[in-house]
Amino acid sequence: MGSENGTAPSLPRRRLDPTVGKARKMVAELLGLSTTGKYTPTQHPPLVLVGCSGGPDSLALAAVTAFFASRGEIQVGAVVVDHQMQAGSAEVAQRTAGQLRSLGLDPVRVSQVEVENRGDGPEAAARAARFTALEEAARDLGAETVLLAHTQNDQAESVLLGLARGSGPRSLAGMRERRGLYARPFLGLRRDETLAICEALDLDPWHDPANSDENYLRVRVRHTVLPFLRAELGPAVTESLARTASILGHDADFLDELASEQYARISEHVPASQADDAQVRLNEEALRALAPALRMRVLALAVVELGGLQPSYERLVGAASLLERKGSAGPVQMAGKVSVWRISRAKGVLQDASGYGKLVFRRSP
């Protein structure tokens, strides 16, 4: 019904759900965007991609981020990775892609990947395949940022898994809010809040049956360990674990930076030749002079530099023990086909003299 002056009555403005508003603020702060009514559309907005499985967390992130695309501040696209590990995964991926396009995301890419388990378990293999697909999409589409929807609950689970594995402060530091290509704006958001966002925005998320499969350690942590800790230690334990990760993350970043500086100072890179594979050599005396926290990180950097995997603490201890040997010793097998051995200065072997008094890392073909 019209008003007295013949104009149509204005419709009441829909109240913004407080959880949606909270999530928008998190995305805006991480990307440097405005959360107020004052904003500036850009002629060529940068492309931001959202890694989306179709689950509540990533679908909520996609919908919240799409708000900023509607204002012209950024362009928002998505990558849906089909791991092909479950029956009907292709249909789930296409359904998710359709829902993302209906939210205004463009471009939306569906990437099918082959998951190769190289001994680290199916979760690690799927993660490696997923990140490869995300990086390829970002490179092909020209995106400098990929948003991931890990929540405070995911962070707490990562800390507990790191404790169980005894894998040191870097693992206990969990996931960083921003690292390289990737950004995680929801690390301060609980999982039940992403469900609330989906409900508030009338989203229809997919619930992955693998998240209820007790064969996965993370699922057991989620459904058994954390509920027990909350019951015994109080409901704030999830937030406390996530806060611990944040604190340790800053410490680990500082130590990693120092280790990178020392690695650049004491490492020698020997390119591959017809007679031998590429090598990294680390001066023994310089290694011994480093604090243990830096020494272990420098050893790990040599392994990764050669294309190996991040080594476990036990393997790093094995490599460091070569420094205590009197003569030539090794090899010690590291992760990813990398081996390390020690060449003594006093050992009369047919080796390049520059290799003496050093730990030598080499990756087998």
Binding residues: 53-58
Residues in binding site for ATP: 53-58
In whole angstroms, give the CA distance from residue 264 to residue 261: 5
Do the beta carbons of residue 340 and residue 328 sit within 8 Å?
no
- Where would I find the H helices in 52-205? 56-70, 89-102, 122-141, 152-165, 169-172, 191-200
Contacts 24+ apart (CB under 8 A), 85-90: 85/115, 85/122, 85/126, 85/210, 86/209, 86/210
- CA distances from residue 245 to 160, 193, 249, 252, 346 in whole angstroms, order as listed: 10, 20, 6, 10, 46
β-strand pairing of 358-363 with 338-343: antiparallel
Strand (E) or helix (H) holding 346: none
Structure tokens at 145: 């940022």
Do the beta carbons of residue 228 and residue 180 sit within 8 Å?
no
User: Quick one: DSSP state of residue 71?
Assistant: T
Rounded to 5°, the CA angle 111-148-80 comes to: 20
* Length of the chain as a residue count: 365
Q: What contacts 101, CB < 8 A, 6 or more positions away?
A: 108
| φ, ψ of residue 130 in degrees (nearest 5) | -65, -45
In whole angstroms, give the CA distance from residue 331 to residue 329: 6
Peptide bond before residue 292 is cis, with ω within 30 degrees of 0: no
Q: How far is CA 308 from the centre of its chain?
A: 18
